[in-house]
Amino acid sequence: MEENQGPEEEPLDDDVGDELADALLDFMSLFSSYVKERDPQLWKLAIDYAKSFAETDNVKFLYYDDESNENEDTGT
């Protein structure tokens, strides 16, 4: 065993990874809905922050301030 080598980690099972992703998305959705409801100004600041710092080459993030826009844009 090398000096800086830690314990071996087993790869996540696909089901565990899916459950983790679902749990994270659920948490983020509930958390953001709570902030949006309780402090609309903070919600808008958070969106501005995310637009500035969450840039990726492969993923496009959509930000919604108004639920009527969300329903129109997503077709729900």
Question: Residue-wise pLDDT tens for the chain (76 aa)?
Answer: 555 555 666 666 778 889 999 999 999 999 989 999 999 999 989 888 888 887 777 877 777 666 554 444 444 4
User: Helix, strand or coil for residue 56?
Assistant: coil
> Tell me, what's the pLDDT at 62?
76
Q: Which of 76, 22, 70, 26 is nearest to 47 (CA)?
A: 70
Tell me, yes or no, whether 20 lies in a domain. yes
> Tell me, what's the pLDDT at 66?
62
pTM of the model: 0.54
Tell me, yes or no, whether 34 lies in a domain. yes
Q: How far apart are CA 70 and CA 5, in angstroms?
A: 48
The total number of structural domains that make up the chain? 1
Which structural domain range is residue 62 located in?
14-74
Tell me, yes or no, whether 4 lies in a domain. no
User: Helix, strand or coil for residue 55?
Assistant: coil
Q: Give CA 8 to chain center in angstroms.
A: 28
Q: How far apart are CA 76 and CA 69, in angstroms?
A: 10
